[in-house]
């Protein structure tokens, strides 16, 4: 077990962020599984809830950069601007401009990937703590696999 914790550098993460961060992935896991195994009506509910939860989490992850900029008393607009991008872009997904669920989930995956690489840069620039990157790595993998499984379910007409 220590080998796996070492591979992902999870041992560097304080227990509270690790525990709550992993708990935050449970809706991704449960809702994506529900899309595969539940009755059609429940699949639709899971699909809508997964889109909404993804948007909430994207907004939350973006807000981390806002908080970090406030703590640093940063007067530069860059990190404040970066912090609102995930919320604004994901908001467009629920405004009805895109009706194809496959495209919505692909865009969500891309947004999670983009914000992950922004987090990588923030950690390298010492804006966020060193332990944050391993946490984001494991959470992003779980989210990416969950959303990817939904893309597959949509593509093969499970839903």
Query: What is the per-residue pLDDT across 38-85, written as a single tens digit (0 to 9) for each?
Result: 999 999 999 999 999 999 999 999 999 999 988 888 788 888 899 999
Average pLDDT, stretch 4-18?
79
pLDDT score at 97: 77
- Closest by CA to 85, choosing from 114, 128, 106, 105, is 114
Q: Does 28 reside within a domain?
A: no
Instruction: Please determine, for residue 4, whether its predicted confidence score (pLDDT) is greater than 80.
Output: no
pLDDT score at 112: 96
Q: Does 6 reside within a domain?
A: no
Q: Does 115 reside within a domain?
A: yes
- Closest by CA to 154, choosing from 85, 82, 100, is 100
- Closest by CA to 148, choosing from 120, 98, 107, 114, is 107
State which residues form the domain around 139.
Answer: 35-155
- Closest by CA to 114, choosing from 142, 73, 86, is 86
Q: Does 18 reside within a domain?
A: no
Q: Does 8 reside within a domain?
A: no
Average pLDDT over all residues of the chain: 91
Instruction: Show the tokens assigned to 131.
Output: 């332990």
Q: Are 31 and 50 in contact (CB under 8 A)?
A: yes
Whole-Å CA distances, 58 to 1, 4, 43, 68: 30, 27, 22, 16
pLDDT score at 2: 55
Q: Are 111 and 58 in contact (CB under 8 A)?
A: yes
Instruction: Show the tokens assigned to 112.
Output: 């999670």
Higher-confidence residue of 27 and 95: namely 27
pLDDT band at 9 (very low <50, low <70, confident <90, very high): confident
Q: Does 46 reside within a domain?
A: yes
In the numeric block, the tokens 């009805």 are attached to 96
pLDDT band at 16 (very low <50, low <70, confident <90, very high): very high
Q: Are 88 and 59 in contact (CB under 8 A)?
A: no
Q: Does 52 reside within a domain?
A: yes
Instruction: Please determine, for residue 154, whether its predicted confidence score (pLDDT) is greater than 60.
Output: yes
The pTM assigned to this predicted structure is 0.89
Pairwise CA distance, residues 114 & 112, whole Å = 6
pLDDT band at 1 (very low <50, low <70, confident <90, very high): low
Q: Does 29 reside within a domain?
A: no
**Total domains present in the chain:** 1
pLDDT band at 7 (very low <50, low <70, confident <90, very high): low
């Amino acid at each position: 077990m220590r080998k796996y914790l070492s591979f992902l550098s999870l041992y560097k993460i304080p227990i509270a962020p690790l525990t709550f961060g992993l708990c935050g992935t449970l809706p991704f896991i449960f809702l994506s599984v529900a899309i595969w195994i539940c009755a059609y009506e429940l699949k639709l509910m899971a699909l809508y809830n997964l889109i909404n939860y993804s948007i909430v989490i994207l907004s939350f992850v973006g807000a981390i950069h806002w908080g970090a900029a406030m703590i640093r008393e940063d007067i530069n607009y860059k990190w404040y601007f970066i912090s609102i991008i995930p919320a604004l872009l994901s908001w467009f997904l629920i405004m009805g401009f895109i009706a194809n669920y496959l495209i919505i989930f692909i865009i969500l995956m891309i947004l999670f990937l983009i914000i992950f690489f922004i987090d990588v840069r923030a950690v390298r620039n010492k804006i966020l703590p060193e332990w944050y990157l391993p946490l984001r790595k494991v959470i992003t993998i779980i989210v990416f696999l969950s959303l990817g499984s939904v893309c597959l379910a949509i593509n093969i007409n499970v839903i």
